[in-house]
């Protein structure tokens, strides 16, 4: 994610004279809608995996590797997004991202070979990674800084809604379309959203500076950066990594009906819409390090129990696990804001998140698939739970500056 330079601030300050949240609610919701389609395109494979496995003749390892392909493209694209935006500016970058996501989904839906599908998945990740830095920069240019927290809270509803919507959309559309048809419908929707934003979208028309080498070196030299990268990897493992393979696990190894499994997973994610706000309050009250440690202790335990419980107990754990996992992110972003000077905060995010997504949302689902083929899904989830529990001890070793030098509101300003 690129640094916001004085030149950008000057441009964004004059781009729109009206900066109240109420006056810009339309453009904010527009951006949230594009983010929703962006995130939905990356996770929609999860509830469709049982169907995709049968259609393509994949084993569990092959199914899990599909998420690694998306995350690999996302990793590269997010790292380079600042350079793309410096040439296109933010608005055109958002248009390119939404349109390219649609094209990638159409490529996947129309490919008859595994190579074609794999290529489309990498392209999907590359297209999706362009959005977040430009989306956040555009959003914050629309309103005054005092309104950023509320605006970004609205924007952050998009991924949480996508977690809920993906299984429900899949089950509804499977009544009329194949999994390929569902991807095609979503691809068309993303392309329409991108073109509509190009015609009616507001904001993002100001110069962008590419990331500087100095700011990158400053962050990479800090041990706390590497600790936070591991912690974010474990957190994304507990949220997106588990989500990616959970429906397949429930259907193939716990003998649940696919419709019931997807409905269960969807309803279990509703709590995430409010838990992140509660976790933000707790971070302000108790401090980032304590909250992170508590979240890893509880999330690791719940993830371990996903692998060892059955029946009604398993249903209960499916609800409890995501409710706890989402609580990491307010504290995590608050802590991440403390590991470097204010001029390097965007860079800290742009370096940490790609690596964490590659591991937590890519390597972990692939590893769970391999574990399912060689031992069992249950053992894989239990092992992942043990890994997440390691975050409890690692959180306690993290050295953060004094509280007055470590603003917990950074989560609201940058995520």
What pLDDT is recorded for position 337?
63
Q: Is 409 helix (H, G, I), strand (E, B) or coil?
A: coil
Query: Do both 197 and 54 map to the same domain?
Result: yes
| pLDDT exceeds 50 at position 5 | no
Residue 279 contacts by C-beta under 8 Å, 6 or more apart in sequence?
Answer: 291, 295, 326, 327, 328, 329, 330, 331
Closest Cα partner for 344 from 240, 227, 215? 215
Q: Cα separation of 365 and 375, whole Å?
A: 15
Domain hosting residue 358, numbered range = 212-415
Q: Cα separation of 104 and 83, whole Å?
A: 21
User: Domain boundary at 185, 211, 237, which?
Assistant: 211
pLDDT tens track for 108-118:
999 888 899 99
| pLDDT exceeds 60 at position 268 | yes
What pLDDT is recorded for position 297?
96
Average pLDDT over residues 245-264: 90
Query: Do both 45 and 95 map to the same domain?
Result: yes
pLDDT over 70 percentage in the chain: 81
Q: Are 53 and 377 in contact (CB under 8 A)?
A: no
Query: Do both 52 and 75 map to the same domain?
Result: yes
What pLDDT is recorded for position 191?
95
Query: Do both 175 and 275 map to the same domain?
Result: no
Query: Do both 198 and 221 map to the same domain?
Result: no
pLDDT tens track for 173-189:
989 999 999 999 999 99
Range with lowest mean pLDDT among 215-224, 225-234, 266-275: 215-224
Q: Hey, what are 348's tokens? A: 């800290």
- Phi, psi (degrees; rounded to nearest 5) at 253: -115, -20
| pLDDT exceeds 50 at position 10 | no
| pLDDT exceeds 90 at position 401 | no
Query: How many C-beta atoms lie closer than 10 Å to residue 349's C-beta?
Result: 23
Query: Do both 369 and 241 map to the same domain?
Result: yes
Most confidently modeled of 3-12, 141-150, 350-359? 350-359
Query: Do both 180 and 271 map to the same domain?
Result: no
User: Domain boundary at 150, 184, 211, which?
Assistant: 211
Q: What is the pLDDT confidence band of residue 407, given thresholds at 50, 70 and 90?
A: very low
Average pLDDT over residues 223-246: 90
| pLDDT exceeds 60 at position 15 | no
Residue 252 contacts by C-beta under 8 Å, 6 or more apart in sequence?
Answer: 50, 60, 372, 377
| pLDDT exceeds 80 at position 75 | yes
User: Domain boundary at 211, 238, 268, which?
Assistant: 211
Q: Hey, what are 69's tokens? A: 């392909």
| pLDDT exceeds 70 at position 36 | yes
Q: Which helix (H) or strand (E) holds 241?
A: none
Cα→Cα distances 302→316, 332, 377, Å: 10, 19, 15
| pLDDT exceeds 60 at position 342 | no
Query: Do both 174 and 98 map to the same domain?
Result: yes
Q: Which CATH number does the domain housing residue 273 bear?
A: 1.20.1250.20
Q: Hey, what are 381's tokens? A: 């989830």
Q: Cα separation of 406 and 383, whole Å?
A: 34
Query: Do both 326 and 390 map to the same domain?
Result: yes
Q: What is the pLDDT confidence band of residue 411, given thresholds at 50, 70 and 90?
A: very low
What pLDDT is recorded for position 56?
87
Query: How many C-beta atoms lie closer than 10 Å to residue 164's C-beta?
Result: 18
Instruction: Please tell me whether the overall predicted TM-score, pTM, comes out greater than 0.85 for this model.
Output: no
| pLDDT exceeds 70 at position 3 | no
Q: What is the pLDDT confidence band of residue 234, given thresholds at 50, 70 and 90?
A: very high
* Structural domains in the chain (count): 2
Query: Do both 230 and 192 map to the same domain?
Result: no
| pLDDT exceeds 70 at position 343 | no
Q: How many residues does the chain have?
A: 415
Most confidently modeled of 152-161, 240-249, 321-330? 240-249
Q: Cα separation of 261 and 231, whole Å?
A: 29
Average pLDDT over residues 311-323: 92
Query: Do both 96 and 227 map to the same domain?
Result: no
Q: What is the CA angle 166-168-173, rounded to 5?
A: 95
Query: Do both 205 and 226 map to the same domain?
Result: no
Closest Cα partner for 31 from 175, 149, 140, 117? 140
């Amino acid at each position: 994610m690129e640094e916001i330079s004085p030149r950008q601030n000057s441009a964004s300050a004059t781009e729109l004279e009206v900066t109240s949240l109420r006056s810009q609610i339309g453009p904010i919701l527009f951006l949230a809608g594009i983010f929703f389609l962006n995130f939905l395109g990356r996770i929609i494979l999860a509830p469709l995996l049982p169907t995709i496995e049968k259609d393509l003749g994949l084993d569990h390892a092959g199914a899990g590797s599909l998420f690694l392909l998306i995350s690999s493209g996302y990793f590269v694209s997010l790292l380079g997004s600042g350079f793309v935006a410096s040439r296109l500016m933010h608005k055109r970058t958002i248009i390119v991202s939404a349109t390219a996501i649609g094209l990638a989904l159409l490529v996947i839906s129309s490919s008859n070979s595994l190579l074609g599908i794999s290529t489309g998945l990498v392209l999907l990740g590359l297209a999706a990674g362009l959005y977040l830095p430009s989306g956040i920069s555009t959003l914050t240019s629309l309103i005054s800084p005092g309104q950023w927290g509320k605006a970004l809270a609205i924007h952050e509803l998009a991924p949480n809604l996508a977690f809920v919507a993906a299984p429900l959309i899949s089950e509804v559309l499977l009544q009329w379309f194949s999994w390929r048809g569902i991807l095609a419908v979503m691809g068309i929707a993303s392309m329409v959203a991108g073109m509509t934003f190009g015609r009616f979208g507001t904001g993002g028309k100001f110069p962008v500076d590419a990331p500087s080498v100095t700011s990158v070196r400053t962050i990479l030299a800090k041990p706390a950066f590497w600790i936070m990268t591991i912690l974010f990897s474990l957190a994304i493992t507990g949220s997106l990594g588990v989500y990616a393979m959970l429906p397949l696990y429930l259907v193939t190894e716990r003998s649940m009906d696919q419709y019931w499994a997807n409905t269960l997973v969807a309803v279990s994610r509703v709590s995430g819409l409010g838990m992140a706000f509660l976790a933000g309050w707790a971070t302000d009250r108790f401090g980032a390090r304590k909250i992170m440690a508590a979240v890893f202790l509880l999330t690791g335990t719940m993830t371990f129990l996903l692998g060892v419980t059955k029946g009604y107990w398993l249903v209960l754990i499916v609800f409890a696990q995501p409710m706890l996992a989402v609580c990491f992110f307010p504290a995590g972003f608050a802590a991440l804001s403390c590991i470097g000077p204010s001029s390097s905060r965007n860079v800290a995010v742009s370096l940490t998140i790609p690596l964490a997504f590659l591991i937590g949302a890519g390597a972990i689902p692939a590893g769970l698939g391999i574990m399912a083929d060689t031992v069992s899904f249950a053992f894989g989830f239990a092992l992942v739970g043990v890994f997440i529990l390691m975050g409890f001890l690692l959180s306690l070793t993290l050295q953060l500056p004094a509280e007055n030098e470590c603003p917990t509101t950074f989560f609201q300003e940058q995520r």
